[in-house]
Amino acid sequence: MTADTSFDVSLVRPYQDILLPSIFQPWAEYMVEALAPAPGTKALDIGTGPGTVARVLAQAIGPTGAVVGTDLNPAMLALAAESPALDGAPIQYVECGAAPMHVSDQAFDLITMQQVLQFVPDRGAALAEMRRAARPGARIAIATWQPLHRNPLFRALHDAVATVLGPDKADLFEEPWSLPGTEVAALAKEAGFVDVELREWTLPATLPGGPDAICCLFDFSAVRPYIGSRRADLTAAVRANLAHCTDETGVHSETAVTLVTARA
């Protein structure tokens, strides 16, 4: 949820244990299924984190393909290396940002980016790098969150921040949901991609650990340095905001994404 690269493996493990299976894994599977990559595809996943999309791609394209996953955060890449894809394409992990990328020119048939572009300082440069890495005819797919009013699970956390830490900190928390899909589509066109399409999807999300579990997201957000002694208050506010969709099996809500696809 943030471009902060200061986390060690112990701090990012809740991302893998809580956020990945309930939120990011379902979206990775949905995105790759929609793209339907052919066997033997060479794919690049930018901002791969713990390798969520990279592993789904590896399974989809099979052992004759290849996947490269890049990320700035070495702790995330360490988590990714702990969970290799089984019976799929080999995955190579490279520590680098979205611009510049340490990958070859015109090397990939498919390039994905899930919930990363929001955090890239120079988004135009990132799209230019995707264009450089794409083979002629290659496809790209960029997923970004729809606004908070379309994401009630995350809105509950945002409102808790506003109540406990104040509206200025709530503004900081909004970054992951601040990039419209229309802007992503415009960036793709400016970078020279064609056949640009924008789709909006919503998926159900269930967190078995309840409201307390989703609060781990605060530690991957821009408000992390400001929590201090207010963590218990934040958790209590999140519980209240999600009480209407919480039962003995967990929190039941939904998340909404915009997917921009295009061709080189």
Number of domains in the chain: 1
* CATH number reported for the structural domain that contains residue 113 in this entry: 3.40.50.150
Handedness of CA 190, 116, 59, 51 (dihedral sign): positive
Beta strands in the chain (DSSP E): 42-46, 66-71, 91-95, 108-114, 134-145, 194-207, 246-247, 250-263
Residues of the chain with pLDDT > 90: what percent? Answer: 86
Q: Is residue 138 part of a domain?
A: yes
Q: Is residue 211 part of a domain?
A: no
Q: Is residue 35 part of a domain?
A: yes
Q: Is residue 155 part of a domain?
A: no
Q: Is residue 244 part of a domain?
A: no
Q: Is residue 141 part of a domain?
A: yes
Residue range of the domain that includes 182: 9-150+176-206+254-263
C-alpha dihedral, 31 to 20 to 60 to 127, nearest 10°: 50
User: Rounded mean pLDDT of 198-207?
Assistant: 96
pTM for the whole structure? 0.92
Interval 5-27: pLDDT, tens: 455 666 677 777 888 899 999 99
Q: Is residue 167 part of a domain?
A: no
pLDDT at 3 over 50: no
Q: Is residue 19 part of a domain?
A: yes
Helix (H) or strand (E) holding 26, with range, is helix 25-35
